[in-house]
Chains A and B, each alone.
Chain A
Amino acid sequence: MRRYDAIKVIATCLTNEFVISCNGMISRELFTIKDQEKNFYMLGSMGLAPAIGLGVSLAKPNAKIVILAGDGNTLMSLGTLATIGKTSPKNFIFVVLDNECHESTGGQQTSSSITELHIIARSSGIKNSKYVNSVTTLKKHFVEALSSEGPSFLHVKVDNVRVDVPRVSIEPTEITKRFVNALIALPR
């Protein structure tokens, strides 16, 4: 399964969720597939997407938060898995799209061919942690995660195939504004 198709599957399942996507191709692909005010495209600060999402989820327990991160991003801040496990937010879904490399910078290998991220997540206290490697199982488990109590973690193995998509063309301060407004508009 291509990562682009995995994001497409996730995007079609979204209803009222807030998405924080990591820097690099993942934000670009999400921007192309489904741009919405409820997306926060993290352009820099590699590794911090789950921390930003955790901040939103703790401050706004009635918002449902989805993190889209790569294996490089997730490996960079494994410690955040511990913070998620400890704070255990019910409204939090962490999706790792794992192509075993830093694709945005030229495909340099990461350690995720060895590191079992879903097991690290589980042992960090994220009990609902699954490994998926097909469109069908991704859809099944993502829909399940949307309707069940979190935190949830989905380790999604994807192929290392680059799809040509444009950069995120929204100014960072505009991304903040849109996201803040969408959160304000959320009914209590």
Chain B
Amino acid sequence: MNHEHFCQLLKTRGFDFYTGVPCSILSSIIKYMSEDNVFSYVSATREDEAIGLAVGAYMAGKQPVVLMQNSGLGQSVNALTSLALLYKIPMLLLISWRGFEGKDAPEHLYMGKCMMNFLDIMKIPAEIAETTRLTEQLNQLSKKMCKQKTPVALILKKGVIT
């Protein structure tokens, strides 16, 4: 799916606060969000900081999205468990999947292997994005996010968003 189309899908679902830390897989999305005033992407120094920003923005009436590489999920565990999950803050995590099927640079291989287990053990609902089902997947995640007041994750493999 084209990045512009994807960003518009997020916008029409009510997401209106965007922050995160870049990944090459997410670069077209972040570039688009940074250049468009409607998205006004806030560049965070670390992924847990981005989750803090998202929590604040949610409490002030926004519906936040946090973008990160899966390495940043490691950085974010405490922010998720002792803040977003504890205080029941809904947010969409867009997480890139580096190290998918063990085909990547060495630093990505461990997290590439255990990322889905991490999300599962934290009970964060997650969907692995598929181009043909993306709209439906976003709808399902949004629904769970609002109903359960929880962070939810959409996992993006290389090439799904161009």
Contact = CB atoms under 8 A, between A and B. Distances in A.
A31 interface: no
A176 B88 contact: yes
Interface of B: 17, 19, 42-46, 48-62, 64, 78-79, 81-83, 86-89
A56 B59 contact: yes
A161 interface: no
Given A43-B82, A59-B56, A59-B62, A51 B89 contact: no
Contact of B78 (A44, A51, A82): A44
Contacts of A119: none
A114 interface: no
B87 A173 contact: yes
A44 B51 CA distance: 13
Interface string A25-51: 000000000000000101111111111
A60 B53 contact: no
B21 to A, nearest CB: 10
Given A44-B78, A44-B82, A83 B49 contact: yes
Contacts of A184: 61
Interface in A157-187: 172-173, 175-176, 179-180, 183-184
Most buried by A among B19, B57, B59, B61: B59
A120 interface: no
Nearest to A20: B56
A6 interface: no
Q: List 8 tightest A-B contacts by C-beta distance, closest first.
A: A55-B56, A44-B82, A51-B52, A79-B45, A59-B60, A48-B52, A45-B83, A60-B60
Contact of A48 (B57, B60, B62, B83): B83
A19 interface: no
A53 B56 contact: yes
